[in-house]
Structure 1
Amino acid sequence: MTDRDLDQRLSGLRRDVPPASEAARADALSAAGAAFEEAQAKKRADALKGSAHDRRHSLASPSGLWRIVMQNRLAIGGVAACLIVAPIGGALFVEQARRQAPDLRQDAAAPRPVQEASPEPEVAAKLESAPKPVAPSGARLERRAVAPPPPPSAPMAGLADAYRGPDVVVGAPENRDRFESTAANGLKVTAQEPVSTFSIDADTASYAWVRRSLRQGRAPSPDQVRIEELINYFPYADPAPVDAATPFRPTVSTFPTPWNADTKLVRIGIKGFDKVAVARPKANLVFLVDVSGSMNAPDKLPLLKASLKLLLTKLGPDDHVAIVTYAGAAGVALEPTRASDKAAIAAAIDRMEAGGSTAGAAGIAEAYRLARKNFDKDGVNRVMLATDGDFNVGESDPDALTRMIEDERKSGVFLSVLGFGQGDYNDALMQRLAQNGNGTAAYIDELEEAQKTLVEEAGAALFPIAKDVKIQVEFNPAQVAEYRLIGYETRMLKREDFKDDRVDAGEIGSGASVTALYEITPPQSRARMTDELRYARPAAEPAPAAGDAEFGAVKIRYKLPDADTSREIVEPIRTAESAPTLAGASDDARFSAAVAAFGQKLRRERQVETMGWDEIAALAAGAKGADPWGYRAGFVRLVGLAKAVSGGAP
């Protein structure tokens, strides 16, 4: 039967028909529904056999429903039979469909708009009272016309418009933050490995990231927690060197471990000479600013621009500033300009806008070129990279970028990194660039952090006093059975690297404080995890007379900023100077121990399982000492947040 024949028969049925009864209408609707279900079953069977017909139709509107019905010729016969039995119900049903259906001679595959219709009062009330979903940051809410199966008594006309699905969350942002996965330093047996060697510096990026995570109500992952950066976020009152001839002075102390009464902590503190306070050198700075599309967020480029303006307040009139921006390509936004011309520098900062891809390698190359062009042999020459680290155009291989940075640092230009934002934050790459550029890495999560890093601690951030700083600790087997270094997992060196001046290591800035902690186990301690070897051979040479009075010795090797040959400092760890009780240790010792416990607990390390959040907070609160900027008080509050995020678990 053709469409034309069907039209003629329907026209005849519509003439001189008696009034319809409710029973006839119900019978017609039931029969039509049965015919429709039969046609759908055949369609599904054909699909399983590999039918090529397009079945991606929507029940979201009457037009979609009738397009399915009209494309099933088998169903037409069943509908027509029902119309003969109940002419009035069928005629009215088809007439309504003909008024709403589109011209079937059009392409059946063409998209049809979903027509909005007011739902029935009962349905509207239910939809209004239903809970509304909440979209996460960066997502959006869309309405989707997904209808649940109708009740048997519901009219078919306008069905999909009356029953609409709830709002659903789509487009949730993908978290692409990248951190290097590192395992905690393991326990070492002194008789087998008496020497521990690592590179030391004063990076602080991890602390700001951890703080941001906890303030957002989520615990950081273990890979995001670098314990040494948490410890070194805080200034310490260790004695400073008396002159620049020796750029820093080590302070070593030993005291009981707060999380294990049967072990001790060895704290190695280094205080850098504050040469800025004596004779501040001139600075040749190049701000290398990422203005790619990934920086288009309030906590990225706008915060970056405000941070750079804060740094301008610490520069002297004879310093020079240049700005290189990079997105799809690199360009010079400001040629080297005297810092006294703050209006011109601020205007260049204000002109920066985000957009495009990220050609990071091209920007780095251009920044180094500009720094070399304005090189000051008597001053400090530094590139300051400000980015989220999302390099996606040009050279982005970490190994290739590392080689580029290593080659460039030989010119005397150092590289520091300021990280911003989350979602695309590439911490792993930025740590690598800073370490190989003889610089430090900081993370700016708020303007107060920029104030701390770039204003209050500008000397440490900009003016180096020593480079390639390495620490080597030799433990005495007679006093120390086992030991482990807390943190510095990404800074470990081989024993032979200590005296090899070709091996790169960390940088220490003017007036900086740097701390490292070892947990040691005495030979007779109940905490000892390993037994003495049955067939261990005695040492080839007897220990020196002073050896029994020492836990070990600390060696520090470093180069002056413009030197190629290293110098060495040796400091013994004397047993007689060990504090007998935790309360007898200094404020700095106890506070650094509290921060170390906090970091280990965030990393879920078993050594601190028995120490609760409240104990950590109490230890830190009792060791705040002089805290003019409130950093230590802020840490105590942060421990409380960590407890809340963990669900109140001890």
Structure 2
Amino acid sequence: MVTGARVGADAAVTDPGGSAVIERDYRYFPPVFVPTPPSRDQYDGEEVSPVKLVGSEPVSTFSVDVDTGAYTNTRRFISEGQLPPRGAVRTEEFVNYFRYDYDRPDSAAQPFTVNTDVAVSPWNADARLVRIGLAGFEMPEQERPAANLVFLLDVSGSMHSRDKLPLVKTAMRQLAGMLTERDRVSIVVYAGAAGLVLEPTNDERRIKDALDQLEAGGSTAGGAGIELAYRVAEGSRIEGGVNRVILATDGDFNVGTADREALVELIEQKRETGVTLSVLGFGRGNLNDAMMEQVANNGNGNYSYIDSALEARKVLGDEVGATLFTIAKDVKIQVEFNPAVVSQYRLLGYENRALREEDFDNDAVDAGDIGAGHQVTAIYEVIPAGAKGWIPARRYEDAVDARARELATEAAFVKLRYKQPGGDTSQLLTYTLPATALATQRMPQGDFAFASAVAAFGQKLRGDALLDGFTYPQLVSLAGPQTDFWRQEFLQLVKTADGLE
């Protein structure tokens, strides 16, 4: 930042006609350079996932992800006139920020439906996009279980700015307004130390009054706050209900358990009690996105970034069911491609959700949870057998075996595992993607086109070299005109990003 100033000393002089004239003696003070503090934001983005050859790696396994923090944080960057760091972008969180026209289940007995689509890749005519969409059961309000919520609020000195603690209060007031007579809220705060400022209550006025009295100051004993919040949640447990800690912070843990691995280990231990943890991120400058995303993942909750009162209303008002009420836990997806039909593939996003093939059938391996009304979308880009791929044919490549040719009517075999919210044993669902689906010459349409545009936007911001020069105007054209507010905002973000390149 550069500042300069002119200051004047007034002096009265007389002109030749005898009139008094005020003259100003201007002196120029040189510019003062006020350095902008360097950002201490922390991101842990993975490299864009590589292309896989079906002949050698036919199976793709990953945990579902319903986080959206990467999208809203990117929106904040672009709205402030800069592109986000590549490490801040997680493509799956872009795609899953939006809702799509998937068929929904009729009851909680089968908590979600599975929807598939195939179309020509808009940026590679030789490839096909395969979309797998899960749509969660939309739980009616009267069927929602009672909720025991502990607001764990960071009130350290780093939370002083307008986009942090004041916005935390707005967000928590929003959630307090959604409570029923059966629900309970406690408030735990932490700065240099942790403390309980509100015993369990469903009195909305008491909750809002307690929030209004909070002020920021001191260091950040995050580990102590988490320990206390879990003790409070366990002490006011509602059997058969939702028992959840909601952590609101910029993630700047600097006193106590500050090491990410130690925090994750702590959270993994606490989730065994049945108390889950969701994270709301706030602010900039020292945003520890890497910490918050991993803490939420291991706490069987979700991570959202709140950049405005409008986003707070979306997450904690309009989508409160998805935020609080789990309908399926430890949800895993495994796709096995048939080498007789598909030669190469890549998954757009989900790099830090990848699982080993053997993890799929292992119920001891933790995976993502799906909340009431949540949707999860995964998009693969695949090369049909015989088409030009990203990787040229190998000289000593094995021929497709007889079993793959025998099942040549199948392009892929899709498997899903999930547990009921109170269960420990997973259930298996299977689906077959027919080979004929890859023969389509149709470009993505409607919802699929919009989802493809969102995925491409994320990949473009990450520097994906395989987008083959797909431009921002092409992204806007692919997304098409939209009437939904959030989708219209997406189009404006893409156009703004174009001007920031």
TM-score range for the pair, normalised by the shorter chain length: over 0.9
Query: Contact 1:383/1:416 (CA < 8 Å) preserved in 2?
Result: yes
**Which one scores higher on RCO, CA 8 angstroms, separation ≥ 6?**
2
Q: Quickly say closer, same or farther: Cα 1:377–1:575, change in 2 above 3 A.
A: same
The equivalent of 1:564 in structure 2 is 424
The equivalent of 2:382 in structure 1 is 520
1:608 is the counterpart of 2:467:
yes
The equivalent of 1:288 in structure 2 is 152
Query: Contact 1:389/1:426 (CA < 8 Å) preserved in 2?
Result: yes
Query: Contact 1:522/1:528 (CA < 8 Å) preserved in 2?
Result: no
The equivalent of 1:509 in structure 2 is 371
Query: Contact 1:621/1:633 (CA < 8 Å) preserved in 2?
Result: no
Q: Normalising to structure 2: TM-score of the pair?
A: 0.93
Query: Contact 1:582/1:590 (CA < 8 Å) preserved in 2?
Result: no
Which of 131, 135, 143 aligns to 1:279? It is 143
Q: Post-superposition shift, 1:530?
A: 2.8
1:203 is paired with a residue whose SS is coil
Query: Contact 2:5/2:31 (CA < 8 Å) preserved in 1?
Result: yes
The equivalent of 2:264 in structure 1 is 402
**1:272-319 CA deviation, whole Å, 9 max, x = no partner?**
011244611111000000000000000000011011111122221210
Q: Quickly say closer, same or farther: Cα 1:241–1:505, change in 2 above 3 A.
A: same
The equivalent of 1:597 in structure 2 is 456
Quick one: which amino acid aligns to residue 470 of structure 2? Answer: M
The equivalent of 2:360 in structure 1 is 498
Q: Which has the larger radius of gyration?
A: 1
1:637 is the counterpart of 2:485:
no
Which of 291, 310, 331 aligns to 1:429? It is 291
**Ranges of 4+ aligned residues in structure 1 off by more than 6 Å:** none
Q: How does 1:202-241 map to 2 (within 5 A)?
A: 202-241=66-105
Structure 2, unmatched stretches of 5+, are: 7-25
Which of 267, 274, 294 aligns to 2:131? It is 267
Number of residue pairs matched by the alignment:
482
Query: Aligned partners of 1:462, 1:533: CA distance in 2, in Å?
Result: 53
1:551 is the counterpart of 2:411:
yes
Query: Aligned partners of 2:392, 2:57: CA distance in 1, in Å?
Result: 13
Quick one: which amino acid aligns to residue 522 of structure 1? Answer: P
Query: Contact 1:256/1:579 (CA < 8 Å) preserved in 2?
Result: no
RMSD, matched Cα: 1.9
Q: How does 1:32-111 map to 2 (within 5 A)?
A: none
**1:194-239 CA deviation, whole Å, 9 max, x = no partner?**
0000111210001101111111110111111100000000011101
Q: Quickly say closer, same or farther: Cα 1:475–1:420, change in 2 above 3 A.
A: same
Stretch of structure 1 that moved more, 221-230 or 276-285 = 276-285
Q: How does 1:196-595 map to 2 (within 5 A)?
A: 196-277=60-141, 279-338=143-202, 341-534=203-396, 536=398, 539=401, 542-543=403-404, 545=406, 547-578=407-438, 580-583=440-443, 585-595=444-454
Query: Aligned partners of 2:142, 2:385: CA distance in 1, in Å?
Result: 47
Q: Post-superposition shift, 1:578?
A: 4.8
Q: Quickly say closer, same or farther: Cα 1:535–1:308, change in 2 above 3 A.
A: closer
The equivalent of 1:621 in structure 2 is 480
Quick one: which amino acid aligns to residue 259 of structure 1? Answer: W
**1:603-647 CA deviation, whole Å, 9 max, x = no partner?**
12111132111110011124x4xx44x11111111110011111x
Q: Post-superposition shift, 1:556?
A: 0.7
2:208 is paired with a residue whose SS is helix
Query: Aligned partners of 1:192, 1:400: CA distance in 2, in Å?
Result: 37
Q: Post-superposition shift, 1:542?
A: 2.0
**1:493-532 CA deviation, whole Å, 9 max, x = no partner?**
1110111111111111001111000000012112342314
**1:537-556 CA deviation, whole Å, 9 max, x = no partner?**
653x62374x2122101111
Query: Aligned partners of 2:148, 2:269: CA distance in 1, in Å?
Result: 19
Query: Contact 2:330/2:366 (CA < 8 Å) preserved in 1?
Result: yes
Quick one: which amino acid aligns to residue 592 of structure 1? Answer: A
Q: Post-superposition shift, 1:167?
A: 3.0
Query: Contact 1:324/1:366 (CA < 8 Å) preserved in 2?
Result: yes
**1:573-602 CA deviation, whole Å, 9 max, x = no partner?**
11334573444x442211110011111111
Quick one: which amino acid aligns to residue 407 of structure 1? Answer: Q
Query: Contact 2:340/2:400 (CA < 8 Å) preserved in 1?
Result: no
Select the structure that is richer in strand.
Answer: 2
Query: Aligned partners of 2:374, 2:400: CA distance in 1, in Å?
Result: 43
Quick one: which amino acid aligns to residue 75 of structure 2? Answer: R
Query: Contact 1:142/1:170 (CA < 8 Å) preserved in 2?
Result: no
Select the structure that is richer in helix.
Answer: 1
Query: Aligned partners of 2:257, 2:379: CA distance in 1, in Å?
Result: 38
2:404 is paired with a residue whose SS is coil
Query: Aligned partners of 1:264, 1:532: CA distance in 2, in Å?
Result: 22
Query: Aligned partners of 1:370, 1:300: CA distance in 2, in Å?
Result: 24
Query: Contact 2:2/2:34 (CA < 8 Å) preserved in 1?
Result: no
Quick one: which amino acid aligns to residue 542 of structure 1? Answer: R
Q: Post-superposition shift, 1:334?
A: 0.3
Query: Aligned partners of 1:350, 1:277: CA distance in 2, in Å?
Result: 28
**1:357-381 CA deviation, whole Å, 9 max, x = no partner?**
0000000000000000010111100
Quick one: which amino acid aligns to residue 462 of structure 2? Answer: R
**1:115-142 CA deviation, whole Å, 9 max, x = no partner?**
xxxxxxxxxxxxxxxxxx646xxxxx89
Query: Aligned partners of 2:439, 2:97: CA distance in 1, in Å?
Result: 25
Quick one: which amino acid aligns to residue 456 of structure 2? Answer: A
Query: Aligned partners of 1:176, 1:375: CA distance in 2, in Å?
Result: 37
1:542 is paired with a residue whose SS is helix
**1:56-99 CA deviation, whole Å, 9 max, x = no partner?**
xxxxxxxxxxxxxxxxxxxxxxxxxxxxxxxxxxxxxxxxxxxx
Q: Normalising to structure 1: TM-score of the pair?
A: 0.72
Query: Aligned partners of 1:297, 1:449: CA distance in 2, in Å?
Result: 18
Quick one: which amino acid aligns to residue 169 of structure 1? Answer: F
- % identical aligned pairs: 47
Query: Aligned partners of 1:595, 1:581: CA distance in 2, in Å?
Result: 21
Structure 1, unmatched stretches of 5+, are: 1-132, 136-140, 144-161
2:297 is paired with a residue whose SS is helix
Query: Aligned partners of 1:352, 1:208: CA distance in 2, in Å?
Result: 25
Query: Aligned partners of 1:349, 1:322: CA distance in 2, in Å?
Result: 11
1:206 is paired with a residue whose SS is helix
Q: Post-superposition shift, 1:184?
A: 0.7
Q: Quickly say closer, same or farther: Cα 1:643–1:521, change in 2 above 3 A.
A: same
